[in-house]
Structures are given as structure tokens and as C-alpha cells.
Structure 1
Amino acid sequence: MIVVKIGGSVVCKDPTKTIQNLPKYADRAVVVHGGGCMVNDLMRRLGLEPKYLTHPGGLVSRYTDWETLKTFVMAMNWINKQIVASLHALGVPALGLTGADLGVVKAKRKEKVLIVDERGRQRVVDGGYVGRITQIDADKLLPPPLKLLAPIAVSEKGELLNVDGDQLAFDVAKAVKAQKLLLLSDVEGLYIGGKVVPHLTAPEAEKLVQSEEVRGGMKRKLLMAAEAAKTGIEVIIASGLSDSPIDTALNGAGTHITP
């Protein structure tokens, strides 16, 4: 089993090569996708401005109020069905889901979150409609058919919640007992000193999180990759824009994080 995360940067630039490579793995893969840039585009068309929160440690997340949530769900469902339609054209009877469908992904709403404000001070703010994943129904995600999962969960109270796409991919990989997790983005891997680092152990990945060369979403990816590697899952950070990106990553391209 493998889990393939199609990052938002791939979704918004050109997911064609990744989609064309998926039929080969339809019987042993689960796919998770992002699409934050498309959410932002739709929000601005609706007269809304995306907002972000900076957390202690430098991690950044989307602030999801009620209006943002509605836009998020609309955009993610559009992306989901577009990919499903593309797979259908390739002869793959894929099933597109949000975590709310069949209760596949359950989460608890983060009612309060700790942030760092523009003055550098830590304070607690309302968490909006963002969830912390609590349960994944692996049996409903296993192929056949190939499942394509959007990063939306459901709470015990029946609330739709925005969940982090990378975190969802990691949790799905653990739940389905995947051997490998591919994080496909618009970069060739983790760059240090201008070069892609081909291999890291979990402790090395944790240490690199402190490096000034590792910024933004890559910090989160490395932390999660180290955690996943400790459970026996090999994590590969690679480009989803190259030819046959899944084949290429499994054959050694990108940055491989192992126990």
C-alpha cells in the first residue's frame, strides 16, 4: 500500500502527470489532495480575504471562519471531482470523498489555538472551523476502487472541519498501514545548500527543522515525516510536476525519510 498526497501547488499548477501515473497504482493506493491556492482564488472572487495564523515554532495555518469554511468546501469538492473525472477518462473508476462522507475522517474542532501575533506576543484566539483528526476508518479507504480524499473532516456534532492536508495524508498512511507515503509538490525534494537531500533518518529530519533553510510548510512536512518514519513508513518528498512522478519517486528521486 502507498498513500499519495497531491499537494496544492501541484493541483494549481498542473496535476496532469501525477493523474496519468495513478492508474498503475489504482489497486494499492489511497490519494489525498490539497488545493489551498484554489481556495484563495475563490475567496477573492467572493470578496473575501484569506487569513493565516502563525503558531509558536513558526508553523502557519489557514484561519477558517464560517465564510472561509463554505468556500473551502466548495473549492475542495471541485478539485476532488475534477481529478475523479480525469481518472475516469483513463479508465479508473475512482471514488472521490471528503472525510465527512461515510464518516471516513472524524475530527475534534479546535475551539482555541495559541498564536504569535504581529507584535511577537503569544495569545489564544478562537480556533474557527479547523479540526484535529481523531479517527480514520481505514476499511472504507482501501481499494478497490481507488479513493481520492479531500481534507475535510466531520465532528461528533456534525460540523464540517478543515483539516491539514499533510496531516491527513500521514494519518491515512498510518491507518491503512502503508509502506510508503509520497508527498508530491512543486519542488524536487528538500533543498539544503542548493541541493536536494536524497536521504534522511528520522532524527536527522527532526534536527533539520531548526535550520534557517527549512521554511513554511516544509517544517511541518519534516516533523510529520520523522514521526511517520519512526512507525516504519518511508516518506518521500518529491516533485509532482515531473514525468511519471510516482514511478520516479519510488525509484529514488526526491528526499526519502526512513527510520
Structure 2
Amino acid sequence: MIVVKIGGARAVDPQGAIDDVATLVGEGEAVVVVHGGSTAVDDALEAVGTEPEYVETPDGVTGRFTDAETMDVFTMAMGKVNTDLVTDLQNAGISAVGLNGVDGGLLTGRRKSAVKVREDGKTKIRRGDHSGTITDVNEDLLETLLDAGYTPVVSVPMLAEDGVAVNTDADRAAAAVAGATGASLVVLTDVAGVYEDPADPTTRIESVDSPAALDRTKAAAEGFMTKKVLAATEALEGGAAEVVVAEATAETPIVSALEGDATRFEPDAIA
């Protein structure tokens, strides 16, 4: 099985990935698509006069602060992204089914009562955040759809233990799905992998195959890539076969990534 994470940034064109999914499914491969929607959510928030808010954790990870108002817009925007992607997949000849983490209890876990953030060099507590951490994946639901010939297209939100739909990171959602199903995870983004020097594509790290290599990769990752390395680590810890981080705009992004045009995280990285 292959889990493909398609990024939600404006620079990520999903067409190449859609064509690759059609090829893989046509060859009999089981594929689950997980997508983000950061740009769509930001655009929707700005359309209703709300400034998108991002915060940084003490660990240096940047994420969206999602209060109750933002959560309403977030759910609406992610639903549209999911429908648009399912439409594109259907037009490519794929029997795609869109669902979010609430549907069938697909993605469930703990809600955060508060988040720690770094502001002006100090660690502070922010309350009112509607976000959570996935602890369980309903893989039976995915297997039922796959066995029936459908390609699941998954988005957040997730369902928290208190019965509330909350935000969670799409990269980590894809990691949870890949870990639960033992799949290979392909994370498509707007760069060709993790670079030793984030400004120099020639410094791409090709293989992460030991704890020492993973430590070096974590140290090299900056900004949005920090989350992708975290997701890769979580996927392998959960049981994923491998994780590759690759460029979404390559001609055949999924196939090329699986053939080695990517940064590849191997299970030995967490041994």
C-alpha cells in the first residue's frame, strides 16, 4: 500500500500526483491520498476578514492557531479542497471517495486543552485552540473502501475524544495512516527533499538510514520541513515501511520518489 500526502501550499500543483495515482491504481496498487489545504484555509480566512495566525512551539515547529471561529472556516475550506481533489481524481478515471477524519471515526485522538508557544523569546500558554493529536486510525474503514475498489481521499479535521472536530497537522495525519497500515508514505511538497543547506538544492540528503543520520536531518530541517521530518519519524515509529519526501511538481512525482528521486527515511533510522 502507498499513502500519498499532497501538500496544500499554493506552489504545490497536484496534477502530476493525480496522474501517478491513476497509473498506480491501474496497476493494482492500493493507494490512499491524504491532503493539506493551508493556502485554501488562509484565503478563506482573509475572505471573511480574519487574519490567519501561526504560532511557533518551543521545539521550533510552526503551526496554525485554530480558535472556534477559525475552526468553522477551516472545516469549510478543507471540504472544498477535498471535493476538488476527488473531482480531479474521478476525471482521471479513479473511483475516489472523499472523507475527513471525523467520518467513521477515521482519525481520532486527544484534544489539546492548551498549547505552548514561543513569543518574544518567552514560552507562553495559549488556550482556546481547537487542535489535537491522532492516536488511532480506523484502518478497517480504509481497507473496506480499498477492497471495494475505491481510492480514499482523506483530509483533516480529526475527531477528539470529547466528540469535537478539531484541527491536526495533515503531514502527521498521513504519517498516522501510513503507520497504521504499514504502507510506504510519499510526502509531496514544493522542494525535492530535505537539504543540508535549505537554500541549496544540491545538498539534498538522499538517505536517512540510521539514528545518527536522522539526528543530522532533524538539525538541517527548517520551517515547514521540520514538520515533515517529524511526520516521517512518527510514520516509521508507527510501522510504515518507508517514507520519502519529494517534489510535487516533478513530471511523475510519486513514481520518481519511490524510485529514489527524494529524501528516503528507512526503518533503520529509528532502530
TM-score, normalised via structure 1 length: 0.92
Partner of 1:73: 75
Partner of 2:185: 181
- Bigger mean CA deviation after superposition, 219-228 or 46-55: 219-228
Determine the C-alpha separation between the residues in 1 that align with 2:235 and 2:158.
21
How many residues in Structure 1 have an aligned counterpart in Structure 2?
A: 254
User: 1:5-57: per-residue Cα shift (whole Å, max 9, x none)?
Assistant: 00112x65421111111112334111100010110011101101011111112
* 1:8 counterpart SS class: coil
Determine the C-alpha separation between the residues in 2 that align with 1:136 and 1:114.
26
CA contact (8 A) 1:97 1:149 kept: yes
The two structures, once aligned, show a CA RMSD in angstroms of 1.6
CA contact (8 A) 2:182 2:240 kept: no
CA contact (8 A) 2:196 2:217 kept: no
Distance 1:42 1:12, change over 3 A: farther
User: 1:73-109: per-residue Cα shift (whole Å, max 9, x none)?
Assistant: 1111101111111111122111000011111111221
1:29-178 equivalence runs, <5 A: 29-117=31-119, 119-142=120-143, 143=146, 144-178=149-183
Determine the C-alpha separation between the residues in 2 that align with 1:48 and 1:12.
22
Give the deviation of 1:220 after TM superposition.
Answer: 2.1
Amino acid at match of 1:67: E
Determine the C-alpha separation between the residues in 1 that align with 2:110 and 2:234.
21
Amino acid at match of 1:209: K
Determine the C-alpha separation between the residues in 1 that align with 2:235 and 2:210.
8
CA contact (8 A) 1:8 1:33 kept: yes
The answer as to 2:262 corresponding to 1:254 is: yes
- Bigger mean CA deviation after superposition, 75-84 or 217-226: 217-226
* 1:72 counterpart SS class: helix
Partner of 2:216: 207
The answer as to 2:195 corresponding to 1:191 is: yes
CA contact (8 A) 2:205 2:217 kept: no
Determine the C-alpha separation between the residues in 1 that align with 2:11 and 2:71.
19
From 220, 225, 245, the equivalent of 1:237 is: 245
* 1:116 counterpart SS class: strand
Determine the C-alpha separation between the residues in 1 that align with 2:90 and 2:233.
35
Partner of 1:220: 227
CA contact (8 A) 1:206 1:226 kept: no
Distance 1:202 1:8, change over 3 A: farther
Determine the C-alpha separation between the residues in 2 that align with 1:252 and 1:183.
13
Determine the C-alpha separation between the residues in 2 that align with 1:159 and 1:102.
14
CA contact (8 A) 1:31 1:149 kept: yes
TM-score, normalised via structure 2 length: 0.89
CA contact (8 A) 1:12 1:38 kept: no
Determine the C-alpha separation between the residues in 2 that align with 1:29 and 1:14.
19
Partner of 2:5: 5
Amino acid at match of 2:233: A
CA contact (8 A) 1:107 1:161 kept: no
* 1:158 counterpart SS class: coil
Give the deviation of 1:228 after TM superposition.
Answer: 3.2
Determine the C-alpha separation between the residues in 2 that align with 1:232 and 1:32.
15
Amino acid at match of 1:135: D
Which runs of 5 or more structure 1 residues have no equivalent in the other structure? none
Which runs of 5 or more structure 2 residues have no equivalent in the other structure? none
Partner of 2:19: 20
Give the deviation of 1:257 after TM superposition.
Answer: 1.1
Amino acid at match of 1:63: F
Structure 1 vs Structure 2: percent identity of aligned residues? Answer: 34
